[in-house]
A and B are shown apart, each in its own frame.
Chain A
């Protein structure tokens, strides 16, 4: 709606309404906002530079050497172990919480021969349905109902007799 001025009318009114538009007035840019958009010369130059990471503190020689050579490896392998004991049976050294490696090697070897005597088919595919008993040379099985495996060699003596006999009795 357009309201015309009333100048044409003969009787002029002392206060006439101002011009009005049939649209909502939009806020126009003000003087203050123009000032904010302006950048200083220094900012325009510096904005194009990519900031690189640089060390903030000096690295001490200790830190530098630890970083290069490592610390955990040194600690694990070069500090003396205090948990090493001698095996009561064979005298070989081993760590306190582990079993003796030398004794276990013998057990492993013997176990391997026993496994071979048992046979691959029995061991891997048809497990016996009763307890397994290993019978060495010159031995008789106690219970005939059990699954008997014969080993073609005398029963191993883990320790020599000379170790067990006293010196006086010789």
Chain B
């Protein structure tokens, strides 16, 4: 089960490993990226390539989490996707316990800042959740006491107060009008 927003159709990536590498080159590239992700837990690269590899990595971890290392087909899949075999141990002994009770996706993706003039590519960052490296975006500081936020809060309170007052006045006015209406209709 993929717990992130993924593309409906695959990208063909015709020049994944040089021009004319074709579908075989695409799969080869995907295997290399998945292997690198499991090893380094955080990789940089071109956005479309990483986005494409993300689905394969998620699926691989998901299969491992659900079936365990005693399941033969899962082991075959892991053996195919992980080109370096020391990572098989990592997948089943480190990542499976880490994501056993996960309710979110296993990976996370960020857009890297654009460089000008740059190579004409959108660069991205793909990482496994709960990795040992420092956070990409540090914990946000409390901005409740910033001057602008204090002023906005005060303005909001004022606005709400005024609105309540006007509503109260309007209700009084409408009550009077209805009373007069009934009296005039009854008089003749």
Contacts and interface: CB of A to CB of B under 8 A. Distances in A.
Interface of A: 77, 88-89, 94-95, 97-101, 103-104, 107, 110-111, 114, 123-134, 158-159, 163-164, 166
Interface residues of B, number: 29
Shortest beta-carbon contacts, A-B, top 5: A101-B113, A98-B111, A127-B90, A132-B132, A98-B113
A88 B134 contact: no
B87 A99 contact: no
A107 B114 contact: no
Interface stretch (B26-34, B138-146, B158-166): B138-146
A98 B94 contact: no
Contacts of A123: 39-40
B105 to A, nearest CB: 18
Contacts, number: 75
B102 interface: no
Contact of B141 (A95, A132, A164): A164
Contacts of B1: none
29 contacts: A88-B141, A89-B141, A94-B113, A98-B111, A98-B113, A98-B114, A99-B110, A99-B113, A99-B136, A100-B113, A101-B113, A103-B138, A104-B113, A104-B136, A107-B133, A107-B136, A110-B134, A111-B133, A124-B39, A127-B87, A127-B90, A127-B94, A128-B90, A128-B94, A130-B93, A131-B94, A131-B132, A132-B132, A164-B141
Name the residue among B94, B98, B110, B117 with the largest chain A CB count within 10 angstroms: B94
Interface string B78-118: 00000000110110011000100000000000111110110
Name the residue among A94, A99, A110, A126 with the largest chain B CB count within 10 angstroms: A99
Contact of A129 (B93, B112, B135, B137): B93
B129 interface: no
Contact of B112 (A98, A111, A158): A98
